[in-house]
Chain A
């Protein structure tokens, strides 16, 4: 197991190296000019040339890349162009809302997706199955931003149950934090929940029809035991794969949901950085996202072995 983890970590370094190259290339291919973003559209060509030199944007792209990677290895991602603040500080201050939003959404969609999917498979064609299929279709078909706006209109404007926007740290005001997190979590989770429900339902139905399940039932084992020991455990492997991919989907969805709900998180920082051509911020976020996704996939791979002893790490 240890050798497997070390080998995967080494491969991850290579993956992250390519992430930095792709991230760097994409940011530099973005249409627009960071200097125009800094100085405004009314700036003169002379002023733009001067600022370009100040920010070392005239250096060859390879030189810029090497400088950036050198800094990133020391967790120095440079400074933002417009405000001159360290990118690492920006990331640190924006991390908490996104972590809270992402983790809550992941847990919410996993717990409810799993529960609803299992119930739909067991009570096939029953009311729960219809509900699961309905959520499966609606959830996948509804964009995050639209669902977010609908929730705001319904729960904030019409019913006055929840505040329409914003973020309050949990340690400052726990109840206000929870109130302001409900709608963003729902908006970001529904899509993930739908994917999981469909996946769990489909996998469970397949496993329920396997010979070993029929055998277990024939042996007289309780329904719950059969489900827990034989169905759920075997059906979880593809579900786990999807759950790993959900991390990336939630990270992407955060950019939209944080913008709709005005949450000052990493997703919104990314959206603002792309619009403002903040190369250093976009590159740092891409690298950070790469690390998170690589680690999530590593954890999923390790979990495969725990769920299915046939999986070998050799």
Chain B
């Protein structure tokens, strides 16, 4: 594996920012407004896979650009006011875990490496001006000069090293530690050069640095407030290099940030500040948008999105993302240790019917963990989608011609229950007797008590898709390590090969081979990729990113007069 990787990397040395790596991303993804611009058939499409009821609908998007409305002057004193249903768990990017936290973090912090709306790595948004694999085990970053943290501390190579140590430090209780496990050391030959010495090549490392592991905190602030999760106070006093500085937080009430006058990007940010109101009830949030108390509403549920279509002076955004509704099966025991049984289950679900009926058409059938928001997404890849003939054939091959009985557990969300009841009704006609059991602790019980033959959840997905295969299906993932997932040496070998590959096209090909493997073995049932839905006031302009999260830092949002 190491030999293969070394050859690949040495042949394809690259510098991002005019490099082959960046060009590959751009070529693969097309325009920023749609990730479905990638029409190249990688040859991974499953031959003979059914298309009945499974052709993804065309991507429709409205107003997903931060370009201000032509003819109107920018209102630089404006504030963006939006809501989040839950409070942030930590302002320290490293110790926080909630999927809602990044929207705040991206305003106060910058990442060593950042991606754009199409999830393509871009130096223009990053604290590193360029990066280069000088050999398969050495990743060298040239850092932006003249950048300072909000407390005046200079951003330099030593700061990068301190932040790496913060991630891997046990006391930070970081969920991001595993993402940086490939890094052996960070060397600082000079102020503006940081060299990551790797234990082994990690092709997904750069994308991982776009998320929690790559946020850069002030070393001075980490020392001053203390970074330890239990005793430190940095989690309440964030200091980054971002376009906004932390301006206050009242638990369960609001989070505020204000313009950083010394931001390294010229003329950014284009607004005075951002305020998050913590509003737990989505009905209240919608009313607050109608009254003008909020000018941006993110993550709108499909039914409310449809209802909001009648609102005046409102713009609507719908963006395919990386999130995925999926059934994670216990493949370590019957019935789903039999691949034919789980494949029959997958073929029995008419995803399009559910998407149209219950999700207002705002999702698209899913075939694997790679979502339409991912740069690697292949729109032509077909999944094990609805096909009554194949259900019967797979049941015959499984030795279960009359069907079988199983239990699916899920959380207590009424929407999720409704979706699973629809699946239950669909598969029943093929003799698949699916029991559905909501349980607030379903994931813990699935792992620890082996409750249920599978569970349903809406998984947020990852910008780096190999992470999903890793934690969902790999031996070191949470399910295999808890004994609910079969371990296959061939899969492990394929995943290791993917992880050590840096070239974009090669990674994409290998990703879809992994997808084939998971489908063939029936490890997971992929249901739908829900689009990100948002509404905002007509004076606001913003980019919607493929990761499904609000990006409000840098120049990502503007308001016109």
A interface with B by C-beta (< 8 Å): 30-33, 36, 38-47, 51, 54, 82-85, 90, 93-94, 145, 149, 152-153, 156-157, 160, 163-167, 259-262, 264, 268-269, 271-272
Contact = CB atoms under 8 A, between A and B. Distances in A.
A33 B481 CA distance: 18
B517 interface: no
Contact of A42 (B229, B231, B478): B478
A82 B89 contact: yes
Interface string B252-288: 1100000000000000000000000111110110011
B360 interface: no
B92 to A, nearest CB: 11
A42 to B, nearest CB: 6
Contacts of A268: 252, 280
A93 B284 CA distance: 23
Nearest to A163: B293
12 contacts: A30-B440, A39-B173, A42-B478, A46-B481, A82-B89, A149-B281, A164-B287, A261-B284, A262-B281, A268-B280, A269-B252, A272-B86
A72 B128 CA distance: 50
Given A84-B229, A156-B291, A264-B252, A45 B441 contact: no
Given A260-B281, A261-B284, 17 more contacts: A31-B439, A32-B441, A32-B444, A33-B444, A39-B173, A40-B98, A40-B99, A43-B478, A44-B481, A45-B481, A90-B251, A163-B291, A166-B293, A259-B281, A262-B277, A264-B252, A272-B280
B523 to A, nearest CB: 17
Contacts of A40: 97-99, 175
Scoring B86, B281, B443 by chain A CB atoms within 10 A of each residue's CB, the highest score goes to: B281
Contacts of B236: 83, 85
A156 B278 CA distance: 18
Contacts of B122: none
Interface of B: 86-87, 89-90, 97-99, 173, 175, 178, 229-231, 235-236, 250-253, 277-281, 283-284, 287-288, 290-291, 293, 439-441, 443-444, 447-448, 457, 471, 478, 481-482
B278 A38 contact: no
A45 B449 CA distance: 12
A51 B284 contact: no
Contacts of B279: 165, 262
A93 to B, nearest CB: 7
Nearest to B231: A84
B279 to A, nearest CB: 4
B173 A51 contact: yes
B230 A165 contact: no
Contacts of A44: 178, 478, 481
Scoring B175, B251, B440 by chain A CB atoms within 10 A of each residue's CB, the highest score goes to: B251
Contacts of B457: 41
Nearest to A168: B253
A167 B251 CA distance: 12
A229 B558 CA distance: 68
Nearest to B483: A45
Contacts of A84: 229-231, 235
Nearest to B455: A41
Contacts of A94: 251-252
A272 B252 contact: yes
Given A47-B175, A149-B283, A39 B251 contact: no
B418 to A, nearest CB: 20
Nearest to A41: B443
B281 A32 contact: no
Contacts of B87: 272
Contacts of A164: 284, 287-288, 290-291, 293
A166 B290 CA distance: 15
Contact of A259 (B280, B288, B443, B471): B280
A167 B97 CA distance: 28
A165 B277 contact: yes
A46 B251 CA distance: 30
A39 B284 contact: no
B440 A32 contact: yes
Contacts of A54: 173, 230
Contacts of B97: 38-40, 43
B98 A31 contact: no
Nearest to A158: B290
A94 B252 CA distance: 9
Given A32-B444, A33-B441, A43-B478, A262 B280 contact: yes
A260 B426 CA distance: 36
A170 to B, nearest CB: 15
Nearest to A256: B281
A30 B99 CA distance: 24
A157 B252 contact: no
Contacts of A260: 281, 283-284
A164 B252 CA distance: 16
B365 to A, nearest CB: 24
A166 B277 contact: yes
B445 to A, nearest CB: 9
A157 B236 CA distance: 35
Scoring A82, A156, A272 by chain B CB atoms within 10 A of each residue's CB, the highest score goes to: A82
Given A152-B287, A165-B284, A262-B277, A36 B443 contact: yes
A260 B284 CA distance: 6
Nearest to B441: A32
Given A32-B441, A157-B291, A83 B90 contact: yes
B114 to A, nearest CB: 22
Nearest to B284: A165
Nearest to A149: B283
A167 B511 CA distance: 49
Contact of B175 (A30, A31, A39, A271): A39
A54 B99 CA distance: 23
B448 A152 contact: no
Contacts of A167: 253
A83 B235 contact: yes
Contacts of B252: 94, 264, 268-269, 272
Scoring B86, B471, B478 by chain A CB atoms within 10 A of each residue's CB, the highest score goes to: B478
Contacts of B444: 32-33, 36
B291 A264 contact: no
Contacts of B287: 149, 152-153, 156-157, 164-165
